[in-house]
Structure 1
Amino acid sequence: MFKKEVYIKRRNYLKDRLKEGVVLLLGNSEEPINFPANCYRFRQDSTFLYYFGIDVPNIAAVIDIDNDRGIVFGDDLDEDELIWIKRESNLKELTDRSGAELRQSKELKNYFRNRSVRIIPQYRSSNIIKLAEIFDIKCHEVEGLVDIELVRVIANQRLEKEEREIYEIKKAIEISKGMFEIAFEKAKDGTKEREILAEVEGYAIKNGVWLSFPTILTKDGAILHNTTHENTLRKNDMFILDSGVETKEHYASDITRTVPVDGEFTPLQKDIYQIVKKAQQVSFDSIREGEMFINLHLKAARVIAEGLKELGFLKGGIDDIMQNHAYALFFPHGLGHPLGLDVHDLEALGENYVGYDESVKRSNIFGLKSLRFARKLKENYVMTIEPGIYFIPKLIKKWYEEAKFKEFINYDRAFEMLDFGGIRLEDDVLVLKDSCDVLSESIIKT
């Protein structure tokens, strides 16, 4: 936990902007895998962590704006739980460290009688059930209680990172650096993907952290979130490693590299890699406060379109290719996303509230609709920048059968690439007033 003044200051920011009402934040509980006593690794809700910092299950908290109070509702471990569960501090000590007061769980429901309650969107069914019980409503009615003003205030506050948060992200990146050094070293002919995975993830655990998301390590890189690791690597193969860790305070890293087996790309792999690298560098060069992130995405997409046209995969005028978004066959995802307490920071609150606002609305165009964040950047935002080029067999075949963009796509050339996979580069970037700081710049890339 940070010092209690940090959490008090954060809660006061919320109070000053919302003016009235009671904010209810539910912490997470432990969730069973296949029977009650066998649970997934516990992960506290990030918004709860941001305002209270208490990293234990089965608690809730309120920020009572009307009465200027922060209250945690929970119970210490009972006699049976003490046998099985280790907790470094009792709940009273943890609550004191967050600058709040402690009350028993049973008092929570009565606290809201005749009060204006504000909640955020829920992503766990167990918490939806809890809220339905608290407010005596049906589970499907819980969504109607979500306060959009609260969501937008939290998003704006959490997007701008404090110095201590940036420090934590840098700590996570430093551990990621060691993981990627292992991956490049172990990328040898005859090695299985899972053998490299074991060493990469083991390095994180040795360094006292956990993963911020399931590791993507695969030569089948055309499937963007492929988490199978069964391939044996051979000379002239390459694989995508997209991984991250989170510190004890739960701040994340998120890095991607495309790794050639035995340390050398084929000429075609190198050509495509250089296009992706150039698209990323153009993005870095354009980042500054006030820049629309959607414009960064389109600049990167244009570099990719120009490069693929030069290699014969696209044809026609670049302006026409861009206007019709034909490049999205090869670059079907967004350029990046916010990073912080979540690897996709604040995504639980809803991308349309976090990444979009009155200045830019979400597109329904293929590829562009997958852009998680489009709005104007501000100083101290931390973003990922992750352009990529992919040859997705089923998508290529589908578009070909539909004769989609046949005036722009050279399908004969694309069909030669069905076994190629994909190339992606991803770095974590701090937005500055007139430029950016590539926080993960020291991680091996070429």
Structure 2
Amino acid sequence: MRAFLPLRPPRTPIPKQAAIPTALTNHPTLVLTRAGPRPLCARRPASSSPALGTTWTQQLLPSLQVRGLASSSQLFRPPAGKPEPQPINMAPYEEILKGKYPGNLHAKRVADYIRSKLPDATTGVIYLEGGKTRMIENCDQEEHFRQRRYFYYLTGCDLPDCHYTYDIASGESTLYVPPVDADSVVWSGLPLSTSEALDQYDVHHAALTTDVNSTLAHLAKTSSKTVYAISGQVSDHITFLEFEDKNMSILKEAIEYSRVVKSDYEVALIQKASDISSAAHRAVMEKVRHAKNETELEAVLLSQFVSKGSKNQAYSTIVASGRSAATLHYVRNDQPLEGKLNLLLDAGCEINCYASDITRTFPISGRFTPESRAIYDIVLKMQLESIAMLKEGVSWDDVHANAHRIAIDGLLQLGILKGDREDIFKSKASVAFFPHGLGHYMGMDTHDTGGDPNYADTDPMFRYLRKRGTLPAGSVITVEPGIYFCKFIIDPALNDPATAKHIDAGVLERYWDVGGVRIEDNVLITKDGCENFTSVVKDAAELERIISSS
């Protein structure tokens, strides 16, 4: 998060997979071109793979194959009438990742969106720039490079100082890479050549960045009078003089819309990132009882990321012990563990610009206190029942509201809340304990695009919900309920008569040291259910066993 089964049923037949679409047909050369059609992604028939485990019932999406990892718990069943997870065999995601990132498929999606909004846009040129090489202020060292996500979505290229064009009429894409700089070669080696770029990325043509303006001028005269670009992301030396119309608004909107439903390759990247992050979380669990401070545990986590192939974190890691776990985005990660009850670990790595986002909360000593276990069980129930509700078309607002109702029921049983369940819900008293949204879209960004949040909402229960409305099949969302004991949030509720009457301050005193409990998984929405990518354990008894035996 960044803010923001019992025994398995018998195996059931798996629907036959839909035919895999082949790649776009290639077009005549512009600079360098590749002969013959090629598949967008390498695939193979589904086969069993112990590395993948089992998943929720697979639902085939148009142009997508759904993959994931399932986490299970012995504590709670899905609600009556909701199908339980089914075992399934799947092809390893590494087979998919042997292919190329499907930039041309994504470009077609974006162009289709533009045409749907602007019916006259049968022609046009999409223009994008990648991120630039930048120097640290007052220093001769470069800043850590992070590619612009809009550029990456259409190219799969994670190199600085590149450009891209896409001719909507012909469907031809061109990636422009920097030319050789003799002085730079001495220090940094040769840059990617145009032939190497064509071989590495899913584009039709490759050229040098010195050719961008001349190519744009040629396209304006022969193919289109309109160029689509993103405001604020066009360099001063790039000229659109030959274009009659310059649309600087719809391209960003089109890419953000297209990014919501993930392609097969994107799903594979997210699953791989989730696998690495799950293993890293497990490693921290095995070390927590012997560590002296939060910093040691962050080092364990980062070592796992790098050793397994991920050099980048998807966001700043949260290693919060004791009462620090009540701070949603605690990132100090430097406090001692002695005398603390629990550790909240919120961390995810990034693979080829795609994120994972996992949170686990567990006892530092290897044994939950009664108060910690009670809160943990409520949060786990909130998460499991939320996941069980997920499928195409479900209202995320409804899932979020239901999680609040489960929290209210649990806190009523503990005596922290008091009064009528519906009155408590209407008073928003539960927001003092569960102040953030249930989850957010995830993809190239941890908080991915397309969620349509409403931060001006006057209802505090929904104000920080990063996704509003229904969930489409193919979207990836986090499910991360939490209960926190933060004085800065609860004290105002205790001072407000409307909510104070529902909170027992005396019972509450026993729970401050719990800090906060959050459990977060990454889930792919399918037609009739979902796929859970997150494999790290969350069963309370199993957590205690792992930590105590380490």
Question: What TM bracket, shorter-length normalisation?
Answer: 0.7 to 0.9
2:132 corresponds to: 29
Deviation at 1:327, TM superposition (A): 0.8
Residue type at the aligned position of 1:365: D
Separation (CA, whole Å) in 1 of partners of 2:175 and 2:538? 44
The alpha carbon displacement at 1:222 in A equals 0.8
**Residues 293 and 84 (structure 1 numbering): CA distance in 2 closer, same or farther, change over 3 Å?**
farther
Deviation per residue, 1:90-119 (Å, 9 max, x gap): 244214533243444355467377953433
Sequence identity, in percent? Answer: 29
TM alignment of 1:93-132, pairs within 5 A? 93-95=196-198, 97-106=201-210, 108=212, 111=216, 115-120=225-230, 128=232, 130-131=234-235
1:108-139 deviation per Cα after TM superposition (whole angstroms, max 9, x unaligned) = 46737795343347xxxxxx375567579xxx
Which residue of 423, 427, 430 corresponds with 2:524? 430
Distance 1:7 1:87, change over 3 A: farther
AA aligned opposite 2:283? I
2:348 is aligned, of 244, 251, 268, to 244
Shift of 1:55: 1.4
Residue from 75, 96, 106 that aligns with 2:178: 75
SS in structure 2 at match of 1:184: helix
The answer for the alignment partner of 1:215 in structure 2 is 317
1:232 aligns with 2:345: no
Aligned mates of 1:129, 1:340 — CA distance in 2: 21
> How far apart, in 2, do the equivalents of 1:24 and 1:369 lie?
35
Q: Tell me, which stretches of 5 or more residues in structure 1 are unaligned?
A: 122-127, 137-143, 347-353
Structure-2 separation of matches of 1:427 and 1:324: 29
Structure 1 CA distance, aligned partners of 2:406 and 2:265? 35
2:430 to 323, 327, 349: 327
Structure 2 residue 206 is the aligned partner of structure 1 residue 206: no
| Structure 1 residues 218 and 77: CA distance shift in structure 2, 3 A | farther
TM-score, length-normalised on structure 1?
0.85
The 3 A distance-change label for structure 1 pair 281 and 402 is same
Residues 54-99 of structure 1 deviation map (CA, whole Å, 9 limit, x = unaligned): 1100122222325643233442241122133356732442145332
Q: Which has the larger radius of gyration?
A: 2
Report the counterpart of residue 479 of structure 2 in structure 1.
385
Higher helix share: 1
CA apart distance, 1:36: 4.8
CA distance in 1, matches of 2:370, 2:486: 20
How does 1:337-356 map onto structure 2 within 5 Å?
337-346=440-449, 354-356=450-452
Q: Deviations over 1:382-421 (max 9, x none)?
A: 2110000011122223343455622323344445544431
Change (3 A) 1:306 1:203: same
Partner residue, 2:371? 268
- Mind listing any 5+ residue stretches in structure 2 that lack a counterpart? 1-96, 116-120, 241-245, 541-550
Q: Deviations 1:161-191 (Å, cap 9, x if unpaired)?
A: 2222222222112211221121111112662
Please give the residue correspondences for 1:360-379 in structure 2 after superposition, counting only pairs within 5 Å.
363-379=457-473
CA pair 33-260 structure 1, distance change in 2 beyond 3 A? farther
Residue 165 of structure 1 pairs with residue 257 of structure 2: no
- Aligned residues of 2:452 and 2:468 also touching (Cα < 8 A): yes
The equivalent of 2:502 in structure 1 is 408
Cα distance in 1 between the residues matched to 2:212 and 2:458: 42
Of the three residues 270, 277, 284, the one matched with 2:387 is: 284
Partner SS for 1:405: helix
Provide the rounded CA distance (Å) in 1 between the counterparts of 2:174 and 2:437. Answer: 39
Matches of 1:339 and 1:87, distance apart in 2: 35
For residues 396 and 332 of structure 2, what CA distance do their matches in structure 1 show?
31
1:14 maps onto 2:115 in alignment: no
C-alpha deviation, 1:313, in angstroms: 2.1
Task: Name the aligned partner's letter for residue 98 of structure 1.
Answer: D
Alpha-carbon distance in structure 2 between the residues aligned to 1:33 and 1:197 = 25
Residue 481 of structure 2 aligns to which amino acid in structure 1? P
CA distance in 2: counterparts of 1:355 and 1:109, whole angstroms: 35
Task: Kindly provide the CA deviation profile for residues 246-305 of structure 1, in whole angstroms up to 9, marking residues without a partner as x.
Answer: 12x222211100021121110000000000000001111101111011111111111011
Deviations 1:305-358 (A, max 9, x none): 111122222222222222232211111111111222222223xxxxxxx1139x
Any conservation in 2 of the 1:396–1:415 contact (CA below 8 Å)? no
How far residue 365 of structure 1 moved from its aligned partner, in angstroms, is 2.3
Distance 2:263 2:309 in 1: 23
Shift, 1:232, TM fit: 1.3
Question: Structure 1's 206 and 4: CA in aligned 2 closer, same or farther, altered over 3 A?
Answer: closer
Question: Mean alpha-carbon deviation: is it higher for 435-444 or for 261-270?
Answer: 435-444
Q: Would you say the 8 A contact 1:183–1:196 is kept in 2?
A: yes
Going from structure 1 to structure 2, the CA distance change for 1:326 and 1:95 (only over 3 Å counts) comes to farther
Give the direction of change, closer, same or farther, for the CA distance of 1:162–1:218 in structure 2 (3 Å limit). same
Structure 1 residue 156: Cα displacement: 3.5
In structure 2, the CA distance between the partners of 1:356 and 1:234, relative to structure 1 (3 Å rule), is same
Mark the CA change 1:265 to 1:87 in structure 2 (over 3 Å): closer, same or farther.
farther
Q: Describe the SS at the equivalent of 1:288.
A: coil
In the alignment, the residues of structure 2 paired with residue 426 and residue 119 of structure 1 have an alpha-carbon distance, to the nearest angstrom, of 36
Question: Which of structures 1 and 2 has the larger relative contact order (alpha carbons within 8 angstroms, sep 6+)?
Answer: 2
Equivalent-residue separation in structure 1 for 2:438 and 2:101 (angstroms): 36
Counterpart of 2:60? none
3-state DSSP of counterpart to 1:39: coil
Range with bigger deviation, 289-298 or 375-384: 375-384
Cα distance in 2 for partners of 1:315, 1:258 equals 26
The CA RMSD over aligned residues, in Å, is 2.9
CA distance in 1, matches of 2:155, 2:362: 40
Asked if structure 2 preserves the Cα contact closer than 8 Å seen for 1:256 and 1:425, the reply is: yes
Indicate yes or no: 2:41 matched with 1:41.
no
TM-score normalised by L of structure 2:
0.70
Specify whether residues 181 and 82 from structure 1 end up closer, same or farther in structure 2 by C-alpha distance, changes over 3 A only. same
Residues 438 and 16 (structure 1 numbering): CA distance in 2 closer, same or farther, change over 3 Å?
Answer: closer
